[in-house]
Structure 1
Amino acid sequence: MDNGLWIFLLLVVAAVWYGRAAYRKRSGIAGAANNLRKLVDRERRGTSEASDLPEWERSLSLLDRHPSEYNQLNMEIGVVEAFVFFLMRHYPEDERIGLLREEASFRKDTVMGFKVNRP
């Protein structure tokens, strides 16, 4: 009986993992996150172009609908800060800069209730 319970638990965990991976792929979260990683890297290397703005906006709007994923990616690579620097470099007159700068200064320390920044 104990072996059957462990096998059932393992199958439940595998199903949850598979379901989460399928959801990320189907909803486009994984693609948006990869695109933002690429854009952040280009911004930090100084090779970004003004024509990248639609890609930034499309990926950010998709992740904005998934707050946990958005917060996790922001904690991991600082997406908001990089977007602020991108706007300041290519679109200094953009009115979103002030709001985004404030958002970047208040980084969350939890993702789905788990502590991310440990002192």
Structure 2
Amino acid sequence: MNNGLWIILLLLVAAVWFARAAYRKRSGISGAVIGLRMLVDKERRGTSEASDLPEWESSLSLLNRHPSEYNQLNMEIGVVEAFVFYLMRHYPEDERISQLREEAAFRKDTVMGFKVNRP
């Protein structure tokens, strides 16, 4: 009986994992996350180009519709901060810079209710 409960629990965890993977793939989150990781890396290396703006905007707008994924990625690699530096380098007159600076300064410390930054 006890082994049966463990097997059911394992199957339940596997089903949740596969459902989450399918959701991420279907909604395009994975592509946006990969794209943003590459863009942040380019910005930090100093190899970003002004023509990257449409990719930044489309990936960020897609991720904004999924706040938990957005907060998690922002905590991991500082997407908003990198986007601010990108805009300051290539589009210093952009009016979003001040608002994004404030958002980058006050990153959320939770993802789906779980504390990410542990003091």
Alpha-carbon distance in structure 2 between the residues aligned to 1:79 and 1:60: 9
Alpha-carbon distance in structure 2 between the residues aligned to 1:43 and 1:6: 47
- Unpaired stretches in structure 2, ≥5 consecutive residues: none
Off by >3 Å, runs of 4+ in structure 1: none
Q: TM-score, normalised by structure 2?
A: 0.98
Q: Is 1:2 matched up with 2:33?
A: no
Q: Is 1:107 matched up with 2:84?
A: no
Question: What is the aligned partner in structure 2 of residue 74 from structure 1?
Answer: 74
Deviation at 1:89, TM superposition (A): 0.5
Residue-pair matches, total: 119
Partner SS state of residue 103, structure 1: helix
Task: State percent identity of aligned pairs.
Answer: 86
Cα distance per residue 1:28-48 (max 9 Å; x no partner): 101100000000000011100
- Unpaired stretches in structure 1, ≥5 consecutive residues: none
Alpha-carbon distance in structure 1 between the residues aligned to 2:48 and 2:77: 16
Deviation at 1:3, TM superposition (A): 1.6
Alpha-carbon distance in structure 1 between the residues aligned to 2:61 and 2:110: 21
Alpha-carbon distance in structure 1 between the residues aligned to 2:115 and 2:66: 19
CA RMSD, 1 decimal? 0.6
Alpha-carbon distance in structure 1 between the residues aligned to 2:52 and 2:69: 22
